[in-house]
Each structure stands twice: as C-alpha cells, then as structure tokens.
Chains A and B, each alone.
Chain A
C-alpha cells in the first residue's frame, strides 16, 4: 500500500498559453481511491499522465510514500494504467495481453500462466486466455485491460475514464467490479472522470478540478453538501443560489431573511444554496417559509422536478413522484435551516 502525494504540480504544454495543471497539491492515503473530477480540458488526464511519468511536470513533485518518483521513467514507477479504450494488442491472445507486464519483466512462463489465470478469474473471465481480443465484447475487453493492469501489482493504479465508452448497464457492472477489486486489493487508485455520479459512487475523496486548478478536495459528501464555492456547487448540479449577506446566524437576501442552523465561519456578502431535493414542499416548517407558484413540472420517473417562483426567486425542487402540483398551483415551501449552505460570494 502506497501513499501518493502531489506537491505543487504544474504542467504547461509547449506553446500553450495557460498551464494545463497549476500548482496542484493533494495526497491520497494508502489504499484510497481518489477521483479527479472535472469537465474535459480541466487537466485531470494531464495529472494522471504526470503521475504515470508519461509527462514531466514543469514544477512540483510526485511522491510515492514520501519519496519523489520524478527521476523514474514510467516503466519503473510501479504504476499501471487503464485507458478509455481497452487497447488490447491485436497480435496477442487475451492471455498474452494480460501477461504482458510480467513478460517484459522477464518472469518465467509458468509463473506468467498461473498469474494470468488468477487475474482472469478475478475479473470474471476465467478460461479465456486463449481467446483473441477481437472475439470479446467491449465490456470483456475492458475487463481484460483491468486484469493486465492489476497483474503487475502496481503501487498506484491509474484509471483514465475506463468506463466512459461502455453502455449504461455494463458501466454499472464494471464500476462495481473495479470498486470491489480496489477495496479488496487495497491499491491506491487515481480515477479520472467527468461523471460526478461515478466520482460520488466510487471515490473515497474527490478532487474537483477546473482549468488546471484544484477547486476543492473533499469526501463525496463534503463536496456535495458543503461546496467551498459556487463553481463547485454548480459542477455538482446545484441549482438554487440566493445572493445576499450573512449577519450572525441569519442570511439576509432581497427575498427575505433565512435562519441558519449555525453561524457560518464567513460573514458579509455570500451566496446561500439549498439542494433541490432538500426543499420541503407543501408543509409549513417553523422557519424559512416561502409562498410560491409552480411554473413548471417535469416527471422524472422516481421524482418530480418543479420550478417554483417565490417572489423574485426562482427555485428548483425535487419532490416525490406522488406529488401532484401542476403549473400555476400555489405552493408552500420550507427551506430547512440544517440543509442550507452558505458559500463565499465570488466571481460569477
């Protein structure tokens, strides 16, 4: 088990106006799965390649167990990478593909065969060593790619959007498989993804990146419920933002004052947010009541999504699918103080 540390990592591609990764610092505890989350072009794949040694940082350091690995070429870092595409070598059988990492290390053929069988078992493809890559489905190919990465017993496993090219059902299956194996084998893992659901589901901690900068590094719950900034809240699907200012335990906005559960650490100009699913419709809470009108209703299967106009505020609410508000209906809503979150007012 290896602790991974990125220290002030900066990478500017030659000729690029701005760095792809700037001053990125984060650490992963041994056995932890850290997701690098962000839109495309946010520097998450660059970060992965810096850790793998496929790119050299302009500044900063990559450390495994406290020791810099910058001097080591990719083949001696003890990492293994799974890419978006399975990248199985077409001139080799499935077994030869899985055993590739051991073969280039000069392992004995008997050892390689035994390990290949073990790994294929692990990814639930027992007995397929003799098959050709072309005979496998997309999901099977990606599982072979996973086995090929795990066979070298990497200190750090790097996953570069390994599920993005699979269809929904297979993706869920692969996520469960990867999550299970990662926990069981205890490999420190970096997962690159642009899918917040995937990051929330799989990661112990999530590093949210935007334009090469780390916006927030926190547990999934922390990131989702306590976003450090408007950008974080927006990226994770936040919809309801009320500008105003903090005064003690109260938040004062044009739409009125709201009671907070506790005094926030910041005072003055700020943004209040509440998750759409935390808005209570139709019931009168003790505080933070609003009256509004439903302006739009959308059926989402498990939930109903409402747009509610309350004075100058437009709020989005997710409610049980059994609720039956229609556009034009008046509605009482409550913003429970314990579900309110205040962020610093900032650049919009």
Chain B
C-alpha cells in the first residue's frame, strides 16, 4: 500500500485536448450505433434518401408490449435464465478461482486447461453431443438444461476473473481473522468478501451478459420451448420489420447498460484486484 518505491503516484496528466478527443470518440463509438435504433423504433415509414422518417409511430413499442409478440414472457425468461446462470457460475467459479489463484497443487495446470477449454473450443461445437446426453437425462427442452449448458461458456470467465483476484489476495488476512475469533463464515463475510467483491461483481456481469446474449445453445438445448430475447430478435430481424427489430434491440441492450451503470464504480477497482493486497 505504502511500500517505498511503489509506482503509486498519479501518472502525469495527459494534454486535455487529447483526453477530450479520446473521450468523445469513445462516447460516439458507443452511442452512435444506438441512435438509428431509437429512430427506427419510433418510425412508421423511413425510406432511403430521407434523413429522418416521414411519419412517426409508437406501433413497434405497442406491439412489443402486446401479448401476441411474446416479448414480455421472453424478457422474463431471459432474466431468470441469466440470473440463474450468474448465481450458479458464481457458486462454482469463486471456489475454483480461489483454488487456482491461491494454491499450488498437483495437477493444477491440467485443471486450468480444462477450465479454459470451453473458451477455446466453442460450446456450440460440443452442444450436439451435450444435447444427446441431455435428451437421455430428460434435460433437453427444459429451463434447467439450458441453464446448465449456458454454464459451459460462462463459468470459465468467473473462474478466471476470480483466479486473478485471489492471486492478489493475502491469505494472512484470513488467518488473522480466525485467530481473533471469527468463524469461517464470519471470515468470509467480513474479510474475504469485501476484498474480492469488486472482482466478483465484474465477473458476475460478464457471466450475466454471456448468458443474456446466448442464442445457439439456447436454441439447441431449449429446442424452441424456452424462448429468450435473442431468439425473438433473430426471428424479427429475419421478418424484415425494422421498427420492431429496432425496438426489441433496445430492450435487449437495456439490461447491459443498466448493469454497467450500477457497477461502474467497481470497474475501476477490478484491475487492482480488489481492495486487500499484499504489500
């Protein structure tokens, strides 16, 4: 923290002009693609040479809210699914990351490889094999089955993020808390969790978004019974109704933006791997 010679001092300020330029470029790069979506979602007719639609309408938004579009149930299922995946990936990924980040043990390299494997081999490639197994065990076409298959690409991210966080965590803090009378759960609540929370939140966001944007796995394992937002989005995009597609895209983007805003304060802290560190 205050070790002599650590490069803790602030970096010299960059020229303001360059900074503003970079900031503007980032904002434009993030927001610009959204602008046409917003316009499209309120357009009734918008033909080629016009800068703006000639007629505006709430048709697309009304349609999304209507029961026949299935958007609201799909939104609910997508949220439930991503929530369940996030919860399970956290329960698996945090202990796994802790083991990988904190301990040296026999077979560690192999386990690390196995955890990384789903990131190297696309889950889609093995999903057909998974589907056969899932059909046998009655998991195909079920919410639980889709949750499990989403864990395949999602859990490695959680484990890797937490491995980085725990590699920087000084275990003596836990020893100290134990000797002062804290039971293991109290150690976790008062010492370990506050230290790893920033990394954990960022990892959870990754996992949520991976599940949220999953299309192929949901389609194969869900068998069309479980309809999530990405599946509706594909359907509308193919139907050629630009207004409805644009509106649905905005609904699809919204949770990511909201979550990102909520956890923005953790993002800066995440590279520092969370609060408590050794000197």
A89 touches B186 (CB 8 A): no
B182 touches A104 (CB 8 A): yes
B181 in contact (CB, < 8 A): yes
Known: A75-B183, A83-B172, A91-B275. A100 touches B177 (CB 8 A): yes
Name which residue of chain B comes closest to A75, CB basis: B181
A89 touches B179 (CB 8 A): no
Contact with B along A92-103 (1 / 0, CB 8 A): 000000001101
Contact with B along A63-81 (1 / 0, CB 8 A): 0000000000111110111
A87 touches B179 (CB 8 A): no
B17 in contact (CB, < 8 A): no
Give the docked Cα–Cα distance between A149 and B216 (Å): 56
A90 touches B275 (CB 8 A): yes
With both chains docked as a complex, state the minimum distance between the C-beta of B2 and any C-beta of chain A, in angstroms. 7
Q: Which single member of B2, B172, B178, B195 contacts A74 (CB below 8 Å)?
A: B178
Give the docked Cα–Cα distance between A220 and B245 (Å): 84
Give the docked Cα–Cα distance between A52 and B180 (Å): 10
Q: Which single member of B179, B182, B278 contacts A79 (CB below 8 Å)?
A: B179
Within 8 A of B (CB), among A133-164: 134, 138, 148-149, 152, 158
With both chains docked as a complex, state the minimum distance between the C-beta of B9 and any C-beta of chain A, in angstroms. 15
Most buried by A among B179, B182, B195, B275: B179
Give the docked Cα–Cα distance between A74 and B175 (Å): 8
Give the docked Cα–Cα distance between A105 and B179 (Å): 12
Name which residue of chain B comes closest to A49, CB basis: B175
Q: Which single member of B1, B180, B195 contacts A101 (CB below 8 Å)?
A: B180
Contact with B along A114-136 (1 / 0, CB 8 A): 00000000000000000000100
With both chains docked as a complex, state the minimum distance between the C-beta of A288 and any C-beta of chain B, in angstroms. 51
B190 in contact (CB, < 8 A): yes
With both chains docked as a complex, state the minimum distance between the C-beta of B269 and any C-beta of chain A, in angstroms. 11
Known: A104-B186, A138-B2. A87 touches B181 (CB 8 A): no
Contact with A along B179-223 (1 / 0, CB 8 A): 111110010001100110000000000000000000000000000
Known: A87-B173, A87-B176, A138-B2. A101 touches B181 (CB 8 A): yes
Q: Which single member of A83, A104, A138 contacts B181 (CB below 8 Å)?
A: A104
A58 in contact (CB, < 8 A): no
Give the docked Cα–Cα distance between A105 and B183 (Å): 9
A83 touches B276 (CB 8 A): no
A339 in contact (CB, < 8 A): no
B279 touches A54 (CB 8 A): no
A158 touches B179 (CB 8 A): yes
A250 in contact (CB, < 8 A): no
With both chains docked as a complex, state the minimum distance between the C-beta of B8 and any C-beta of chain A, in angstroms. 11
With both chains docked as a complex, state the minimum distance between the C-beta of B168 and any C-beta of chain A, in angstroms. 13
A54 touches B180 (CB 8 A): no
Q: Which single member of B172, B178, B180, B275 contacts A85 (CB below 8 Å)?
A: B172
With both chains docked as a complex, state the minimum distance between the C-beta of B143 and any C-beta of chain A, in angstroms. 38
**Interface size range on B against A:** 20 to 34
B170 in contact (CB, < 8 A): yes
Name which residue of chain B comes closest to A160, CB basis: B172
A80 touches B179 (CB 8 A): yes
With both chains docked as a complex, state the minimum distance between the C-beta of A145 and any C-beta of chain B, in angstroms. 8
Give the docked Cα–Cα distance between A184 and B279 (Å): 33
B275 touches A104 (CB 8 A): no
B186 touches A81 (CB 8 A): no
Give the docked Cα–Cα distance between A54 and B178 (Å): 8
With both chains docked as a complex, state the minimum distance between the C-beta of A192 and any C-beta of chain B, in angstroms. 14
Give the docked Cα–Cα distance between A76 and B179 (Å): 8
Q: Which single member of A74, A85, A104 contacts B190 (CB below 8 Å)?
A: A104
Q: Which single member of A73, A91, A138, A148 contacts B178 (CB below 8 Å)?
A: A73
Name which residue of chain B comes closest to A136, CB basis: B2
A148 touches B279 (CB 8 A): no
Contacts of A89 in B (CB 8 A): 173, 190-191, 194, 276
Give the docked Cα–Cα distance between A316 and B181 (Å): 51
Contacts of A91 in B (CB 8 A): 194-195, 275
B182 touches A54 (CB 8 A): no
Contact with A along B75-102 (1 / 0, CB 8 A): 0000000000000000000000000000
Q: Which single member of A54, A83, A105, A134 contacts B1 (CB below 8 Å)?
A: A134
B173 touches A75 (CB 8 A): no
With both chains docked as a complex, state the minimum distance between the C-beta of A101 and any C-beta of chain B, in angstroms. 4
With both chains docked as a complex, state the minimum distance between the C-beta of A83 and any C-beta of chain B, in angstroms. 6
Contacts of A80 in B (CB 8 A): 179-180
Contacts of A101 in B (CB 8 A): 180-182
Contacts of A79 in B (CB 8 A): 179
A interface residues with partner B (beta carbon < 8 Å): 49, 52-54, 73-77, 79-81, 83, 85, 87, 89-91, 100-101, 103-105, 134, 138, 148-149, 152, 158
8 additional contacts (CB under 8 A) given A87-B172, A100-B180, A148-B180: A52-B179, A53-B178, A75-B180, A75-B183, A77-B179, A90-B275, A101-B181, A152-B181
B interface residues with partner A (beta carbon < 8 Å): 1-2, 170, 172-173, 175-183, 186, 190-191, 194-195, 275-276, 278-279
What 8 pairs across the A-B complex have the smallest Cβ distances?
Answer: A101-B180, A74-B178, A104-B182, A81-B179, A91-B194, A75-B181, A104-B186, A87-B176
Q: List 19 A-B contacts (CB under 8 A).
A: A54-B175, A54-B178, A73-B178, A74-B175, A76-B181, A77-B179, A81-B175, A81-B179, A83-B175, A87-B172, A89-B190, A91-B194, A91-B195, A91-B275, A101-B180, A104-B181, A134-B2, A148-B180, A152-B180
